[in-house]
Amino acid sequence: AIVLDDTLAGYFNDVKKGGMVVIATKKKIAAPHGIRTVAIDAYGVARREIGKPIVNVAMLGAFAKATGLVSKEALEKAIAQRFPKELAEKNAAAMRKCYSMV
């Protein structure tokens, strides 16, 4: 699961044992036994890299590193195709930073 708002109650309820939660937060999160938690200050990263607290792409970096399901290079390519150049560069920087924080 990817959680963008750490105030949402019950985000662990639907995660199976052996699953993972990647969460945008500065807080230490106590996960139930058997659930891996990756906490990333994605809002801080987005503010610094993009200039706005928009964390969607930044969180993809953390997700990619935590799961290994998609490569950083594939994300960089998709970002370059999806956004105008300046915005792509900022989002790619935020994605790479969150990727490196995992």
Domain residue limits, the chain: 2-101
Q: What is the pLDDT of residues 56-94, one digit of tens each?
A: 999 999 999 999 999 999 999 999 999 999 999 999 999
Per-residue pLDDT, 12: 86
Q: How far apart are CA 87 and CA 102, in angstroms?
A: 23
Report d(CA 16, CA 22) in Å as an integer: 14
**Fold held by 2-101:** Pyruvate-ferredoxin Oxidoreductase; domain 3 (3.40.920)
Give the mean model confidence (pLDDT) for residues 38-58: 97
pTM: 0.92
Q: What is the rounded distance in angstroms from the CA atom of residue 66 to the CA atom of residue 53?
A: 22
